[in-house]
Structure 1
Amino acid sequence: MRYLIREKLFTIGDDYWIEDEDGHRAFLVDGKVLRLRDTFELKDASGRVLAVIKEKAFTVRDAMKIENADGDVIATVREKLFTPFRDKYHVELAGGGELKIHGNLVDKDYRIENSHGDDLARISRKWFRIRDSYGVQIADGADTGLLLAVAACVDHLTEED
């Protein structure tokens, strides 16, 4: 499934919709204002919270944690210790394992893959002619909520750099 994300431009609280390939609003990234650290909620179209994304405070390397609706940490998106020019972040899964993020993060042309090298998601601006937008293509059977939350984390962390 492919999703369209319009980059946020001067939005209050950093709220933005993620649309499916048919143009329907599928997920809302709801930014929470007046918090000590940046916090977002990923909600489905009916308003149910799928994930809470929080910037980790007091860390040497940039990091954001992704929690499920019950408050359990399911993943942490973290800056790598040694970063070649383009691969800057990786995802540590709470259940063990890691997701790798490869490509050009600033230009939004990268992929997220599992530890076996299988592509789980591909992020690209090239699919859409709409200005200030990019697409996220999720592999069949992959965790859509987690991968969209990871993409939101990468977007936020690269924006802060």
Structure 2
Amino acid sequence: MYVIREKFFSIGDDFDVLDEHGNKVFHVDGKVLSVRNKVVIEDPSGQEVATVHRHLVALRATYEIRIGGEKAAEVRKKLFTPFREKFTIDVPGPDDLEMKGDLLDHEYVIERGGEEVAAVSKRWLTIRDTYAVQVAAGIEPLLIIGSVLALDLALDRERERDKKNDEDN
């Protein structure tokens, strides 16, 4: 299980991803987001291990996850999803994943072929403004953490766009 602080990009802060014992397992550099539409995930020694960046030219919100310099997945919002938000985690090959549930409140699961491989929940923790990410054995944690970051970035962009539209009307 990993612990992530909620709304980590609202200020552009750096933050740490902790394991269930409170040990830092990753550091996320959120400051580069505003300049390059990219976040960098580092190991505790400061070495870059993964990145998440937004495709600037895309029909719908699309974020690319690179692990160890290699493209690991693209996270995309599904076009037609009445009543619920859904995102696809498109990995090379046939084993795509899907995020579904209450994405805005960080209560959702990530599935592969109908089987749950990760769960994100604020309910597991009593600490305010944090949520837990549980990853099944055999699943790359950086892929899941990168996907959670991509989702949060996409939802934050939507909130900002909606807020701007409200102010313009």
TM-score by length of 2: 0.85
RMSD (Å), alpha carbons: 1.7
Letter in 1 for 2:37: D
Corresponding position of 1:95:
93
Runs of 4+ in 1 over 4 A off after TM superposition: none
Where is the helix percentage greater, Structure 1 or Structure 2?
2
Letter in 2 for 1:95: G
Task: Tell me how far 1:134 sits from its aligned partner.
Answer: 0.6
SS in 2 for 1:14: coil
Distance change (3 Å), C-alpha of 1:104 and 1:34? closer
Partners of 1:74 and 1:95 within 8 A in 2 = no
Pairs within 5 Å for 1:113-128? 113-115=111-113, 117-128=114-125
Q: Distance in 2 between matches of 1:130 and 1:67?
A: 30
Corresponding position of 2:75:
77
**1:80-99 Cα distance to aligned partner (Å, 9 max, x none):** 12112223211111234310
Which structure 2 segments of 5+ residues have no match? 159-169
**1:2-49 Cα distance to aligned partner (Å, 9 max, x none):** 1111122754x43211111111111111121552x4101111222222
Distance change (3 Å), C-alpha of 1:57 and 1:108? same
Distance change (3 Å), C-alpha of 1:97 and 1:10? closer
How many percent identity over aligned positions?
Answer: 35
Q: Does 1:130 align with 2:127?
A: yes
Corresponding position of 2:167:
none
Corresponding position of 1:38:
37
